[in-house]
Amino acid sequence: MKHEWRKKEKLYYIPKTKAELVNIESMKFIQIKGEGNPNEEAFSEVVGALYSVAYTIKMMPRNNVEIPRYFEYVVYPLEGLWDLKEEARNKDSFDKSELIYTIMIRQPEFVTEDIFKDAIKIVKRKKPNKLLDKVEFSTIEDGLCVQMMHIGHFDEEEKTFKVMKKYCEENNLALRSKVHREIYISDFRKTEQSKLKTVLRYMVEKG
């Protein structure tokens, strides 16, 4: 039976539209680090490079590449860790060109560094892309987090962040970092902006 993250991992990907405390264990990702406005073409190219690797890994057994403990699965959604350049932190206005990001796609537990490297070789051979040299394999553990489902345009996320920060204040929680995670549940190329679903997460600590 195919592993479907929407059904099997609702805690991580289909949270409520109210703030909640969760513990996020160690997960494997393929990722690219960059900076700049996510509405520009350069960002779309980053996303395209990541998906080309993600789907190559998924299809490797069908192309006669043996992967131990492999199981059928739905490719995980796109995610991003977002921050601002240091010089932009104290400005009154927000400029998207000053964003710093790590864009990623989670991988099943059976994916190893060697499998990732093999996938990169396959993509380079079949669909060359200069960004493939920037793709990294990593393991990340967010730990204790406050998360909430944001429904609506990306530019309206601040209202959801305010709810999350209020929850932290009421529950004696402090942000561990100004970096936040976004998980894009909706396909933003096909979904009406007012109906976009995005998981928002802050890494927190008690007290």
- What is the tens place of the pLDDT at every residue in 103-146? 999 999 999 999 999 999 999 999 888 999 999 999 999 999 99
At the top level of CATH, the class of 5-206 is alpha beta
> How much is the pLDDT for 89?
66
| Token output for 11 | 């805690």
What is this structure's pTM?
0.94
| Token output for 16 | 């409520």
As a whole number, mean pLDDT of residues 20-49 equals: 95
- From the list 190, 204, 196, 32, the residue with the least C-alpha distance to 104 is 32
Alpha helices in the chain (DSSP H): 5-8, 10-13, 41-59, 113-126, 157-170
**CA triple 166-178-88, angle to 5 deg:** 120
Measured N-to-C along each axis, helices 41-59 and 113-126 cross at an angle, to the nearest 10 degrees, of 110
Element (H, E) at 143: strand 136-151
Domain segments of the chain: what residues?
5-206
pLDDT band at 23 (very low <50, low <70, confident <90, very high): very high
